Amino acid sequence: MATALIVLAAGQGTRMNSDLPKVLHPLAGVPILWHALQAGRSLDPERVVVVTGHGAAAVEASVRAYDPDATCVRQAEQLGTGHAVAQAMPALAGFAGRVVVLYGDTPFIHPDTLQALIDSPAEVTVLGFEAADPARYGRLVAAGDRLDRIVEWKDATEAERAITLCNSGVLAAEAGLLAELVAGLGNDNAAGEYYLTDVVGAARARGLAARVVTCPEAETLGINTRVELARAEAAFQARARAEAMETGVTLQAPDTVFFSFDTAIGRDAVIGPNVVFGPGVTVESGAEVRAFCHLEGCHISRGASVGPFARLRPGAELAEDVHVGNFVEIKNSILDEGVKVGHLTYLGDAQVGERTNVGAGTVTCNYDGVSKHRTVIGREVFIGSDTMLVAPVTVGDRAMTASGSVITGDVPEAALAIGRARQVSKPGLAVKLFEKLKAEADRRQKKVR
């Protein structure tokens, strides 16, 4: 069955006490909203509509960064969830499949749960959960999986508040029916809002079937405060660490490793303590990432080792058996098989050939203040310690640079390049200079007194 998504992301999130829209707060390295979009993507939807409101421009930019094909519509006034869905329906004109309504601040709904909503035979299907502490959740008044109505806590009787089957807010219905139901909603309730939950009663009044699909409460975790955001982060990390170890990854100190929402690590990889993964990282089987590394937007191949205390930035590509050591930063650079970059080095916008050794303190000077430039280093090259490679520059295969050189021109294959001033020694000048400096310091001290 064809599916579409409506993702509600218009709320201000006042309890976050932040200028940033609630759905843009980071969770596992990316906005909370991306997690909801990722969950919905498991249904392979034909259309995705995101309803924005507070901070709409920023939210819409984030949506485009994740899914350029998604449609954003604005809810100028926040008049309730039913009103928000009504704003989205024109963007689904001509769509005849099933629509799933998700929330941008509810990141953990499992793909199997969403599929169960789609597979339900009822005209309207709502996602519910048994709450350990029902608190102020809306209640599902049901007999088995047959749903009679949804009652918001504000409008519930004492008997209805005793129900522990709670409403997640997520529901599924055929597009045409959903459009009709939300168009007929009223706002005669304690909050004066148009509740999406009222579509259940409206459907039942037509003699249509409504059902409940249930899931664990953890899947329905909504994020409204900084405390809930921290809990969500902890829940995500705990699950990600467990999944990594179950698939054969060694985490030497699991509680200190932090994953992003899309981190991919192969079997028999070893991850040391205090490693942080940003978005877009792939680590192949058998690679090792040592302690205190920060990785984002990079690829580490089989047999490579990174760290400790290394940083790989977006565009870093490490081939098999590459070694990147301590206090090395790699950005937008390709290191071919067997390259060694031991320590205290920056490689940006570079291509480094097989089995090349890059000495300590090497820097590719890739930025002239306006534009970035590329450095190309060939195969089996020896780059001496403290070499400055001023891009654009090319060093040929099997060439060498002398330690302390500033390389501003291309180095031919097999050549030795020396780019430093001749050393000059002045006998006795060091003692004279120190005596002069000491005398000046003494004079300054006497003036202070």
Phi, psi of 398, deg, nearest 5: 60, 20
Amino acid letter, residue 202: A
- Helical residues (DSSP H) of 89-136, grouped into ranges: 111-119
Query: Active-site residues: which are they?
Result: 343
Pairing outcome for strands 210-214 and 264-265: unpaired
Q: How far apart are CA 210 and CA 47, in angstroms?
A: 24
Strand partners of residue 359: none
- Per-residue H/E/C for 169-236: EEEEEEHHHHHHHHHCCCCCCCCCCCCCCHHHHHHHHCCCCEEEEECCHHHHCCCCCHHHHHHHHHHH
284 near 268, Cβ under 8 Å?
no
CA dihedral of 155, 159, 160, 163, whole degrees rounded to 10: 150
CA dihedral of 27, 138, 196, 98, whole degrees rounded to 10: 70
CA dihedral of 95, 98, 102, 107, whole degrees rounded to 10: -110
Q: How far apart are CA 178 and CA 11, in angstroms?
A: 21
79 closest CA partner among 11, 172, 136:
11
